[in-house]
């Protein structure tokens, strides 16, 4: 069976979210395997828009406005609730549409337990890259402070493109090594860790 398909034959990585065949009981295991979990969510899109209008998108404390959405989603909650009892987020970074440029927060093996949580505005279109979190990718430091990943490195390592459309906005939880490309819209990305000073590594 194609590993990109769920037991019903539908795609695991849907355009608007991970297949509903991945239940709340399975979501943590799925994330650990794939380094990626995402879901369209209109409430999150609305919060991102409000924060943008108020000029609060670069503040780590803006994360508090998303807590209700996180705890209210049965599949997302198991992934992020363990981080809520620690002093998080440790990093806040915004990124906007930049077609043709692929980024990651790190290309070195993860030190400790940390993730990057992207909150997307309505109308965002993004591409993720399957298995990019566990491949030996190349990258160079970009002007935005992230690591730019050459498309050739992704192709060499067999990282297939996952096209996602957050028409209403939404959330994506990534391993810090997972690569992404923003085709349209923007994201507020928060770095979460379970011990102090474990923000995402941005160089390798």
Is pLDDT at 204 greater than 70 in this prediction?
no
Between the CA atoms of 200, 76, 40 and 37, what dihedral angle is there, to the nearest 10 degrees? 50
Please check whether residue 68 lies inside any domain of the structure: yes
The residue written with tokens 């295991």 in the block is 29
Contact call for residues 61 and 108 (beta carbons, < 8 A): no
d(CA 178, CA 128): 8
Identify the domain containing residue 84 by its residue range: 27-193
* Residue 203 domain flag: no
- Residue 21 in any domain: the answer is no
Based on the structure, what is the number of domains in the chain? 1
Examine residue 36 and state whether it is found in any structural domain, yes or no: yes
The 10s digit of each residue's pLDDT in 21-45 is 999 999 999 999 999 999 999 999 9
CATH of the domain at 161: 2.60.120.620
Share of the chain above pLDDT 70, in %: 89
What CA–CA distance (Å, rounded) separates 81 from 70? 8
Rounded to two decimals, the pTM is 0.90
């Amino acid at each position: 069976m194609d590993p990109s398909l769920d037991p019903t034959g539908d795609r695991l990585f849907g355009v608007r979210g991970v297949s509903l065949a991945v239940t709340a009981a399975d979501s943590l295991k799925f994330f650990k395997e794939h380094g990626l979990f995402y879901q369209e969510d209109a409430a999150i899109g609305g919060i991102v828009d409000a924060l943008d209008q108020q000029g609060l998108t670069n503040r780590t404390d803006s994360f508090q406005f998303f807590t209700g959405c996180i705890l209210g989603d049965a599949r997302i909650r198991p992934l992020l609730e363990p981080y809520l009892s620690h002093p998080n987020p440790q990093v806040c970074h915004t990124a906007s549409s930049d077609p043709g440029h692929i980024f990651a927060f790190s290309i070195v093996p993860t030190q400790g337990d940390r993730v990057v949580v992207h909150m997307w505005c309505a109308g965002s279109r993004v591409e993720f890259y399957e298995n990019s979190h566990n491949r030996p990718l190349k990258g160079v430091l970009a002007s935005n402070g992230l690591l730019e990943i050459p498309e050739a490195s992704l192709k060499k390592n067999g990282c297939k493109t996952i096209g996602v459309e957050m028409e209403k906005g939404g959330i994506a939880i990534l391993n810090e090594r997972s690569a992404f490309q923003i085709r349209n819209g923007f994201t507020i990305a928060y770095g979460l860790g379970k011990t102090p000073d474990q923000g995402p590594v941005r160089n390798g």
